Every structure is written in structure tokens, then in C-alpha cells.
Amino acid sequence: MLKVVNLAHAYGDQQVLAGIDLSVGDGELVSVVGPSGCGKSTLLRSIAGLIKPSHGQVLINGVPVEQTPDDLAVVFQDYSRSLFPWLSAAGNVALPLRRKGMSRRARREAALAALDQVGLAGSADKYPFEMSGGMQQRVAIARALAYRPALLLMDEPFASVDAQTREDLEDLVLAVRANHNMSILLITHDIDESVYVGDRVVVLTRSPATVTESLTVDLPSPRDQIATRELEAFVRLRSEIGRLVRGRPDLVGEQ
């Protein structure tokens, strides 16, 4: 589905990414985790075609990404800035569907269906400023879902909401993914989260970032906020990734 080949980027003299290789298979959810400031967002922006990387290639279904690809949607961390405040929830969700040549009515229906999916059926005509942070991020997720992208990119999507909302939204993403056959690349700095939602966790080093490790998450589905986190395999993976992120490769076990 997605293939990133030797991707490097520098802002001026500052090298941020130093040759990233990673891939996301069809229907796979890959978490990318790394220390803060390591260039995770730059990686996501390069994949989304929002910035042109200095080196390397991004391929979606074998086709190099030149501009923002058609079959892709992004959920950003900062919902209050990424939602359009002058549009209602339904208006926000419906807007990108203009790209699909859908009629006004079809757009509205698709928007309502997507809002229903994220549990906001009754809030379609509310404006972002009338909603809590968690609700706003649900709208942003609904906006991405309604677009039915083959690849969904999420940039720290739950970093700006409270802990309870965060768990709800993690489960929402897992449920959504079970319903649509969507490939997801989720960027996070939260190690627990990367393991909990991921099929695979890609660990980046400090900036300039490279991939240190790609670990398969072998945990049963569906995941459960309490039970999954208690599993020995979960705890082991979490510790392993924790050491990788802290940059202590000498303490890492096999894999």
C-alpha cells in the first residue's frame, strides 16, 4: 500500500529525517513512535505530499507521490486548527467530498453517516466552538472516514484530549478500521498507544531520524483497554520500545 524509500528531509541546514524506510501493508495499522522532536510530523507531511522531501521517495500502490495524493486523508493533532470553524460538523465532514464530484445531497448524507459512526449523530449542525475537544477530534476523524481514503494518516491524533477521551478514540479507530478496509499510519509519542492500536510499531531514533526497529505487535484482537494492557506480551513490547525510544540499544533484547 504505502512504501517509503530512503526518505530524508532537511529544513535549511537542519537535517530532520535521515533515510527512512518503512511500509504499510493493505489494511495494516502501523504506529510510528519516536522521541519528541525527532521529525515524525515531517515524515507524515512528506507522505501526505504537503512538503517535498529533500531525498527519497514515497510510493502509494507503487505510484510515486508528487502532490497530495487523492486516496489519502490526514487527521492532525490540533483539531481546533484543522477543523474549519465557519462550518458546522456536517459541513466540515462534507467539504472534502467535493473532490469526489458528489451531489450536495449525497455529500450531506455521507457526512451524517460518518458522524453517526463516530458517535456524533446528534451534533451534525453544531459548530466546532460549541463542541468539546474530544467531539471536535471525532469530527476530524469523521471527515477523514467520509472521504473513504485507502490510506489514513494520523498525526498524534489523541495527544490533545483527556485520558478517557483518548481511550475512547483509540477504540474508535480500531473499530473503524475493522469496518473499512483501510490502511492506517498513526504517529504518536505515546509508547503504550503505539502498541495498543498497532499491528506493527516502527521506532524512530532521535533527529535526524532513522528507523531503528520495526516490531510486530502480536496481541489478540479485538483489543481491550484493560485486558490487553495487562498481557505479558504487551508489557514486554512496551518495555522494549521504551528502551529503543530512549536510545539504549544495549538494553534491547532480540527482535
Of 26 and 70, nearer to another protein (C-beta) is: 70
β-bridge pairing 63-64 and 2-11: unpaired
When binding is defined by CB under 8 A, the residue of 50, 174, 231, 252 that contacts another protein is 50
Decide if residue 48 touches another protein (CB under 8 A). yes
Decide if residue 127 touches another protein (CB under 8 A). yes
Q: Check if the beta carbon of residue 177 is closer than 8 Å to that of residue 101.
A: no
Residues in binding contact with another protein, number by CB under 8 A: 28
Of 49 and 242, nearer to another protein (C-beta) is: 49
Decide if residue 73 touches another protein (CB under 8 A). yes
- State in angstroms the smallest separation of the CB of 28 from another protein: 20
Decide if residue 83 touches another protein (CB under 8 A). yes
Decide if residue 105 touches another protein (CB under 8 A). no
- State in angstroms the smallest separation of the CB of 141 from another protein: 13
Q: Check if the beta carbon of residue 95 is closer than 8 Å to that of residue 43.
A: no
Give the DSSP per-residue string, 58-99.
Answer: EEETTEEP-SS-TTEEEE-S-HHHHS-TTS-HHHHHHGGGGG
Decide if residue 67 touches another protein (CB under 8 A). yes
Decide if residue 70 touches another protein (CB under 8 A). yes
Segment 128-167, which members bind another protein (CB under 8 A)?
128-129, 147, 153
Strands (E), the chain: 2-11, 14-24, 29-33, 55-60, 63-64, 72-75, 151-155, 183-188, 200-204, 211-216
Decide if residue 81 touches another protein (CB under 8 A). yes
Sheet of 55-60: strand order equals 14-24, 2-11, 55-60, 63-64
Q: Point out which residues pair with 209 in neighbouring strands.
A: 17
Give Cα 222 distance to the centre of its chain. Answer: 19
Of 82 and 205, nearer to another protein (C-beta) is: 82
67: left (phi over 0), alpha (psi -120 to 50) or beta: beta
Q: Check if the beta carbon of residue 6 is closer than 8 Å to that of residue 53.
A: no
When binding is defined by CB under 8 A, the residue of 82, 136, 137, 183 that contacts another protein is 82
Which residues bind to another protein, rule: CB under 8 A? 45, 48-50, 67-70, 72-74, 76, 78, 81-86, 95-96, 98-99, 127-129, 147, 153
